[in-house]
Structure 1
């Protein structure tokens, strides 16, 4: 009688423990499904090379130089689309910060004395709509900024009131379309704009004007690229050097932001447009490992010596994210 009672008690305990373990293991399985997700994460690096078509990550730099963890004033999911300028010996980098709280892009600022080591400063531009691709340039001793504002259906021009931290909206150069990754440059006393349109960003349009502020006209050959997502979407600053005009383009044929290709614009007038692909394509691409494991989609290259270029780039990797959500 005693042995039987004891045995039954022990058996009941083991049964309860087994049930608890099963529920625990099932719970762990459910939690894993809920909590662990794979997110693509962009960060920013520095490349150097002898030409804007031959750029590599130097041994003297630990890339990436800026990540979401460097952002201190908003909860950032990633940083991307860097553009930089040099003023009085200091490099200023403007870039997209994806604000995780609002799920929209804002524009951040970092500074450097050598273009290699960067210090994050602050968010310098925030709007009710998404901002990215902060194309910064200097004209007549003033700094201007054209960020992507496709959610506002316009190309918006900003001017620095107090460079580099205070920017004021000037006007919309073009409206009534979802312009993406607008790139501006000067050539033969005219201003030129390359910008991507269409939902899939597979169309590249060209505009020109005698005046930065007004009079923008679509080129008669525009769209200069149509229905081709491997060469349409701009991927950084258009560079003019050695009597050449070079545009970078995102190659999104395989996946979004996989690699960057270069094209030399060989003929550019108000009536004609021709280009050819550069030999060293892709200029940058996914490495398969590390911070740029699955993609690179942006270059801003600057010539700092006869055979020395420095460029800010971005790269994408996968990261496991643990999210605080529970099953009800």
Structure 2
């Protein structure tokens, strides 16, 4: 009976770590680098879905912030000169629908972002008009309810994978274009993965090194954000697609009562001269009293 008085809130944080070649990820050794308490311009519940970018000698990480007031995600960033010490910046993108997964990338001298906005019913491209704080809508890349769109350039084409909910739920769809700002075509085999919540949702940037393409998938089969699985894409053309599963990258920490004890679902890897900068997120469940939460939101003047 008492359980009905509480609900579980997933409390996400972000961990940023430096590695050199040969180092192994150890989720039990990772510590939170950015938490909700670091956010200065809203009362944040959590931070998640981080993406790294290096610009003019410094490092930036963009991520989702979930504000207590609206409970609709917004996009914020933090900055570091060395990739170790991070300082919060500000919220840079918000709409009247939920935003997350700010997939950020460079094309020559321009910086773009494709945030997840599935609630709006399309995939949108933004350009930094004054990096890192000002972003301008450029184009709708694809119409439809897609989640966590992940773009990469490979063999003279742009590719984009995303989880879709229609016509097949929990399915991975693939698109391609000759030019980022051109027309995006559906892959001949869509959906590439059908109705499989274990491997259909992207879980971070598609990683490329020495001709290899590695994609990461969030396992949402038992619960959201359970673990991350790596796949190597072995064939990719406009008419074919194949991949092989490599291994689980990480999941919940084995150490109880930690920031990532209940799951992890996102990874971005960036190389620099010293090795790799790796950013992940993780969460634990917090039990919240429903009555207390309603009273608190009423006092604060929140709408729901």
**Length-normalised TM-score, structure 2:** 0.89
The structure in which a higher percent of residues are helix is: 1
- Structure 1 gap ranges (5+): 1-28
> Could you say which residue in structure 1 is the equivalent of 2:272?
304
Query: Structure 1 residue 178 and structure 2 residue 148: aligned?
Result: no
The within-5 A match list for 1:1-328 is: 37-49=7-19, 54-56=24-26, 63-175=31-143, 177-198=144-165, 202-278=170-246, 281-288=247-254, 289=256, 290-305=258-273, 308-321=275-288, 323=292, 325=294
Conserved? CA contact 1:161–1:168, under 8 Å: yes
Measured in 2, the distance between the counterparts of 1:129 and 1:218 equals 26
CA spacing shift, 1:324–1:296, aligned 2, 3 Å: closer
What is the distance in 1 between the residues matched to 2:63 and 2:169?
Answer: 20
Identify which range, 166-175 or 110-119, moves more after superposition.
110-119
Counterpart CA distance in 1 for 2:19 and 2:172 is: 28
Report the alpha carbon displacement of residue 86 of structure 1 after superposing the two structures with TM: 0.6
1:189-217 residue CA offsets vs partner (Å, 9 max, x unmatched): 10000010117962000000001112100
Task: State the distance in 2 between where 1:120 and 1:201 align.
Answer: 37
Cα distance in structure 2, aligned partners of 1:52 and 1:270: 35
After superposition, the Cα gap between the structure-2 partners of 1:210 and 1:51, relative to the gap in structure 1 and judged at 3 Å, is farther
Q: CA RMSD in A?
A: 2.3
Partner Cα separation in structure 2 for residue 172 and residue 56 of structure 1: 39
User: Is the contact made by 1:183 and 1:234 (CA closer than 8 Å) also made in structure 2?
Assistant: yes
In structure 2, relative to structure 1, the CA distance for the partners of 1:58 and 1:158 (3 Å cut) is same
Deviation at 1:42, TM superposition (A): 0.7
Identify the structure with the greater strand proportion. Answer: 2
Q: Residue 97 of structure 1 contacts residue 108 of structure 1 at CA under 8 Å; is this kept in 2? A: yes
Larger radius of gyration: 1
Following superposition, the deviation at residue 116 of structure 1 comes to 2.2
SS at match of 2:198: coil
Distance in 1, matches of 2:185 and 2:44, equals 38
2-side partners of 1:52 and 1:284: how far apart?
17
Q: Deviations over 1:104-131 (max 9, x none)?
A: 0000110112222211110000111110
Aligned to 2:300: none
Aligned-residue offset at 1:319: 2.2
Q: For residues 58 and 141 of structure 1, what CA distance do their matches in structure 2 show? A: 38
1:53–1:262 CA contact under 8 A, matched in 2: no
Counterparts of 2:293 and 2:115, CA distance in 1: 33
Which deviates the most, 72-81 or 313-322?
Answer: 313-322
Q: Select between 285-294 and 153-162 the one with higher mean Cα deviation.
A: 285-294
| CA distance 1:201–1:125, shift in 2 (3 Å) | farther
